[in-house]
Amino acid sequence: MSVRIKKIKDNQYHVWCDEQNIGTITTYHNEFHNKYLYLEFNLSKYPIYFPFSEIKQIEGKSLQVMTDSTNTDLVHLLLQNGFKCKRHCYTPKVTKNDLRVKLNSNCSLYTFDINNKNMTYFVIYYINITKQCINPYLR
């Protein structure tokens, strides 16, 4: 089984397996963890061998993937190709009826982005406080 990749955009690769186009991999940066280059997969199948080293060489950064732990085919591919599982993540499906305390209908939700300095500071502060027990470098 031969797998080829070709960079088609600044942040996207086409993937072929045995000369058949099986989809794309998109790269992106995480604003809070910019040491790595993140990969997002849009593939019809996951071949056993994958040339991740080519992407790392082209991009010049270590690679990281965030996926739901129930995506077992992708998790298996990543583990087989040298990635290490750092955290198991599951996305539960819940509704407001699942809450112990009922929501006040007067609640307001506000969206923000990286340009909102006050909210960005609060999020980074909260992350640092909650991760101090597992990451001594945040102290």
Report yes or no: 23 and 44 within 8 Å, Cβ to Cβ: yes
CATH of 3-90, one of 2.40.128.30, 3.40.630.30, 3.40.50.300, 3.40.605.10: 3.40.630.30
User: Residue 75 — left, alpha, or beta (φ > 0 → left; ψ -120 to 50 → alpha)?
Assistant: alpha
Residue 15 has pLDDT above 70, yes or no: yes
Q: Which of 120, 124, 104 is nearest to 112 (CA)?
A: 120
Distance between CA 51 and CA 33 in Å, rounded?
23
Distance between CA 36 and CA 65 in Å, rounded?
9
Which of residues 91 and 29 earns the better pLDDT score?
29
Kindly report, residue by residue over 78-129, the tens digit of the pLDDT. Answer: 999 999 988 877 777 878 788 787 777 677 777 788 788 888 888 888 888 8
Kindly report, residue by residue over 58-76, the tens digit of the pLDDT. Answer: 999 999 998 888 889 999 9
pLDDT of residue 113: 81
Q: Which of 73, 82, 83 is nearest to 23 (CA)?
A: 73
Paired tokens of 99: 């809450």
Residue 42 has pLDDT above 60, yes or no: yes
pLDDT mean over 20-25: 96
Task: Show the beta-strand stretches assigned E in 31-134.
Answer: 33-43, 62-65
Report yes or no: 23 and 8 within 8 Å, Cβ to Cβ: no
pLDDT of residue 137: 57
CA 91 to chain centroid, in Å, comes to 13
pLDDT of residue 138: 54
Count other C-beta atoms under 10 Å from residue 28's C-beta. Answer: 10
